[in-house]
Each structure stands twice: as structure tokens, then as C-alpha cells.
Amino acid sequence: MDFSKEFIEKLVKKDQLAFNEFYLKTIDIFSRYLNSNYFLENHEIEDILWDFYVKWWDVCDKYKFEQSFSAYVWTIFKNLLKDFFKKHKDIPFTNMSAGNDDEKESFEDTLQDDIDIIDFLEKDFQYKQIEEWMKKLDDDCREMIYLKFVEWKDNVEIAEILELSVDNVRQKIFRALKKLKSILESI
């Protein structure tokens, strides 16, 4: 999420056109995040997104320019997501069973023995292709890989979003990649 200071100022002043542009530039980011991490039904994703943008409109004027804008937005989104799962206890927090087997593509035939997992993620991140292996990771590992290699966040941004130290983020990313590599090597 890279917005100019002038644009953010318009958002903070609750400019409707700026809000519309913010919506158009972020809806895909949040949709992909929900789809790749939680595999919710479409109507559940729509509910979460609707709630987020309503919440965002309510609190956008509280943003302080000394904080990271991206971290502020992600914090609001993640808190709303936690609230959603608290309200809907019948939905597992990490429901990784979505999608028909027909829709899932197997990547086993194309994955070479000597491929480096980091190169694989950086060159062509196709989440559907590695969905089965991602299921075997814990929530923290999935989130780290998503933020780093799908959203292309740097360690400082991830630290702000997750309220962790940069060193802690670096360690968690290293561990997540190590776990994913281990899973891929065992196949």
C-alpha cells in the first residue's frame, strides 16, 4: 500500500473520491489475503470486506502521520478479522479446506529437486499451485510468507503490521521458509 502524503491527507479529511480510490486500490489486496489465508465462502469474504471499509471510513480521520499508513490500515483490518472470527465461532480461524479437488492443480510434476524455494516464490508465486503445502504450515508461517512474497512487504513494514521487532520478523520469515522448504523436500 503505497499512497502519497497528499492522498492520505484527503482520506483523513474523509474525501469521498479519495475513499473510492482507496477502495479500488485495496480491495484486491484484502480479498487475496482472505482467500489465501482463510478460504472463506464468498459471502463471508464480502461481509468482512464490507465491515472493513465501513470501519475504515469511521476511523480514517484518526490516523496520525507519524505512524506507518500501511501498518495502520492492516491493524484495523486484522482487528476486524479477529472480531469476525470471535462472532462466528462456527467458522474455524484457519479453514484450509476450501476449493474442489478439480480446481486444485498439482505442482508435483513441475517442481524440480534442486529448485530454491525463495527463487520459486519470487519468480512466480501461484498460490493455488502450492496450496497443499501451505496447509501444512502454522498460521504465523503462512502469514509471514503471504506478507513477504505476495504483498511484497519489507521486514520493516511487516514488523509494523504485526507489531513485532524487525529482527523477530526476519527470524520468523527464515523459519517459515525453512519449514516450507522442508515440506517440499519431503514430497
Predicted confidence (pLDDT) per residue in 84-117, tens digit:
888 876 654 443 333 444 433 433 433 343 344 5
Which residue pairs from 179-185 have beta carbons closer than 8 angstroms and sit at least 24 positions apart in sequence?
179/137, 179/141, 180/117, 180/133, 180/134, 180/137, 180/141, 180/145, 181/117, 183/133, 183/136, 183/137, 184/111, 184/117, 184/133
**Which residue has 509494523 as its cell numbers?**
160
Report the mean per-residue pLDDT for the chain.
Answer: 77
Task: Report the C-alpha gap between 187 and 176 in whole angstroms.
Answer: 17
> Which grid coordinates are listed for 68?
506507518
Q: What are phi and psi of 101, to 5 degrees?
A: -60, -30
How far apart are the two ends of the chain, measured CA to CA in Å?
Answer: 36
Predicted confidence (pLDDT) per residue in 30-80, tens digit:
888 888 787 678 888 898 999 999 999 999 999 999 888 988 999 899 889
Q: How many residues does the chain have?
A: 187
Under a CB-based contact definition with an 8 Å cutoff, are residues 145 and 177 in contact? Answer: yes
Task: Report the C-alpha gap between 127 and 171 in whole angstroms.
Answer: 23
Domain ranges (residues) in the chain: 5-87, 117-185
Under a CB-based contact definition with an 8 Å cutoff, are residues 52 and 85 in contact? Answer: no
The yes-or-no answer to whether 5-87 and 117-185 have a common fold is: no
Task: Report the C-alpha gap between 42 and 180 in whole angstroms.
Answer: 28
Record: fold of 5-87: Rna Polymerase Sigma Factor; Chain: A (1.10.1740)
Task: Report the C-alpha gap between 119 and 115 in whole angstroms.
Answer: 7
Q: How far is CA 26 from CA 2, 20, 76, 151, 161, in A?
A: 10, 10, 13, 11, 16
Record: fold of 117-185: Arc Repressor Mutant, subunit A (1.10.10)
Q: When comparing pLDDT for 25 and 122, which is higher?
A: 25
> Which grid coordinates are listed for 19?
475513499
* Per-residue confidence (pLDDT) for residue 38, from 0 to 100: 77
Q: What pTM, to 2 d.p., does this model score? A: 0.55
